[in-house]
Amino acid sequence: MLKVHHIESRYGEVVGLHDISLEVNEGEIVALLGVNGAGKSTTLKTISGLLHPTKGTIEYLGERIDRLPPETIVRKGIVHVPEGRRIFPGLTVKENLIMGTSNRKVSKAEVEQGIERVLTIFPDLKRLMNQLGWSLSGGQQQMLAIGRGLMANPKILMLDEPSLGLAPVIVKQVFQTIREINEQGVTVLLVEQNASMSLRIAHRAYLLETGRVVRTDTAANLLADDAVRTTLLTAHGRG
Amino acid sequence: MQVIQLLVTGLAVGSIYALVALGFVLVYTAVNVVNFAQGDFSMVAAFFMVSLVVSAHLPYALGFVVSVILAGVAGYLFQLGVYQPVKNRPRNFLPVMIATVGGSIFLQHLFLILYGPVPLQLPSVFSQQTVDLGGVHVYPQYLLIIVVTAVMVALLNWFFERTKLGKQMQATAQDPTTARLMGINTARMNALTFALSTALGGLAGILVAPVYMVTTTMGSLIGLKAFAASIVGGFSSVKGAIIGGLAIGIIETFGGTYISGAYRDAFAFIVLVLFLIFRPYGLFGEKVSQKV
């Protein structure tokens, strides 16, 4: 479905990604794991079009997308939920959700339907609908960020550090929800520092180190591997 | 009775400043720069109005609407030619600011070439000089200014609070990167913000033209006072721009009458200096206004 082929990405002069190749198949949850600075977020930014690769190609459903701007890519169904939630602080929860439909023409009925769907996944948002984004807690913001991503009707949902800064009990809920969303047919590309939780819900994973893929395998194999445990799971403890 | 007369005058003059200040604030909150040519679009629209209504004999209302739209179109072209080329410069605040100052000088001289140095007159739509409201004599043009401004503010409020496009413009102002990730065409939103701001400035220019003369420099003073009004209001708040504008209008009207007529134009700037010393974040601004 999505094929990333030997991409290099830069922030000005600084090389963020050296050589990343990965593939996401329909219906999967794929995790990108690695410590801070490994290039996980940069990979997502390059796929969603916020950065353009300086080398390599990105193909989505057989079409090259690595030169397209983000607003075009999101129209194709690749939806990037950025790190740090990035809720619009001055808009209400409902308005934030509606902004998620900006990638296509929608009728009022479709918007209402989308909101209903999000509320079945995140019932807690229901009583917050008219609150402004800045007034939400971290966990509520994360639910809203994922919900807003779902409003875009994604084929691939890319989540960047959805568990960052959340209380452990909320983290569990978030991962549970990601699995539910996947079971509804949405392909998920997940970037996480919390490797153990990610590997429990993912089908496959890529391990990134300083802008390179150093290993890829099924989640079960990686979870069973002691070497992976020591590099990632302890690193997570620090983060 | 004189107090009420002055209050009407102050509110009318203040409405003009408020409309132009709204333009300053909308552009500032959207793209984080001050458009120093904002005032000049009042002049641009006033000249269009003179051409359409006095020279081409279009009906007043039609000329009015067309001139406001043309001011918006001029603002769209302005952002295309002046803002877009420099917006991606590093530390873009300064290059953009200088570019808008240059754009202001360009506009004034363009209209000097087109219309000449002699001030033109735009008649009021009202034939009477004053109307009598229970013993209070007021200029009907002043009442028109207040009513049109109030309607415009209500329309803007509806647009920003009730329409998806309005919300998308707000979302773009609050977090442009995330707005792009949602599929919002932020370049188009910013262009629209410029057009809306200059249309508001144009509206102010046409409303105030029958009170003053139409000259190529009429926008400078209006722009400066509206800038002062924006600072008083906090520069990032729509409510602040309106209240700041009205406050400046009322202060200069009363100050010009009771303190010194010669210093009428100075009061706005005295207020500005006082605010910059004692309350630089304005009436409604946040204390920490620096964006990350």
Say how far apart CA A20 and CA A33 lie, in whole Å: 13
CB contact under 8 A, A100 and B178: no
pLDDT at A233: 62
Look up the CATH number of the domain holding residue A181: 3.40.50.300
Domain limits for position A12: 2-238
Q: Do residue A74 and residue B167 have CB atoms under 8 angstroms apart?
A: no
Using beta carbons and an 8 Å cutoff, which residues of B are at the interface with A?
A: 164, 167-168, 170-171, 174-175, 177-186
d(CA B196, CA B154): 15
Residues of B in contact with A71 (CB under 8 A): 180, 183-186
Q: Do B183 and A86 touch (CB under 8 A)?
A: no
Would you write out chain B's pLDDT as a tens digit for each of its 292 residues? 789 999 999 999 999 999 999 999 999 999 888 999 999 999 999 999 999 999 999 999 999 999 999 999 999 999 999 999 998 888 878 899 999 999 999 999 999 999 999 999 999 888 877 888 888 888 999 999 999 999 999 999 999 999 999 999 999 999 999 999 999 999 999 999 999 999 999 999 999 999 989 999 999 999 999 999 999 999 888 899 999 999 999 999 999 999 988 998 999 999 999 999 999 888 887 654 444 3
Check residue B291 and give its pLDDT.
Answer: 40
| CA–CA dist B142, B207 (Å, integer) | 9
A79, A99, A148 member nearest B167 (Cβ): A99
pLDDT of residue B41: 98
Residue of A nearest to B173 (CA): A88
Distances (CA, A) of B128 to B122, B137, B139, B141: 15, 11, 8, 10
Domain ranges, ordered by start, for chain B: 2-278
Inter-chain contact A82–B186, Cβ cutoff 8 Å?
Answer: no
Task: Give contacts of A100 with chain B, Cβ < 8 Å.
Answer: 182
The per-residue pLDDT for range A75-124, each reduced to its tens digit, is 999 999 999 999 999 999 999 999 999 999 999 999 999 999 999 999 99
The residues in A 140-169 lying below 8 A from B, measured between CB atoms, are: 148, 152
Count how many domains chain A has: 1
Half-sphere exposure of B196 (CA within 13 A, CB side): 22
Query: Token pair for residue B110?
Result: 């363009």
pLDDT value, residue B289: 43
Nearest to A75 among B170, B177, B183 (CB): B183
Of how many residues is chain B composed? Answer: 292
Residue A26 has pLDDT above 80, yes or no: yes
3-state secondary structure B131-189: EEECCEEECHHHHHHHHHHHHHHHHHHHHHHHCHHHHHHHHHHHCHHHHHHCCCCHHHH
Residue of B nearest to A82 (CA): B178
Strand order through the sheet with A63-64: A63-64, A55-60, A2-11, A14-24, A212-218, A204-209, A29-33, A187-192, A156-160, A78-81
Report which listed range, A136-140, A197-201, A212-216, B200-204, is most confident.
B200-204
pLDDT band at A239 (very low <50, low <70, confident <90, very high): very low
* pLDDT for res B129: 79
pLDDT at A11 over 70: yes
Residue A31: pLDDT band by 50, 70, 90 thresholds? very high
Q: Which residue type occupies A124?
A: D
- CA A202/CA A195 separation, integer angstroms: 10
Q: Determine the pLDDT at residue A235.
A: 52
Sort out which chain B residues have CB atoms less than 8 A from A88's CB and list them. Answer: 170-171, 174-175, 178-179
Regarding the domain delimited by B2-278, which CATH topology (the fold level of the hierarchy) does it fall under? ABC transporter involved in vitamin B12 uptake, BtuC (1.10.3470)
pLDDT for B18: 97
Average per-residue pLDDT in chain A? Answer: 92
Q: Best mutation site among A73, A80, A99 for testing chain B: the one with the most B CBs within 10 Å?
A: A99
How far does the CA of residue A227 sit from the closest CA of chain B (Å)?
Answer: 36
| Predicted pLDDT of residue B287 | 54
pLDDT at A186 over 60: yes
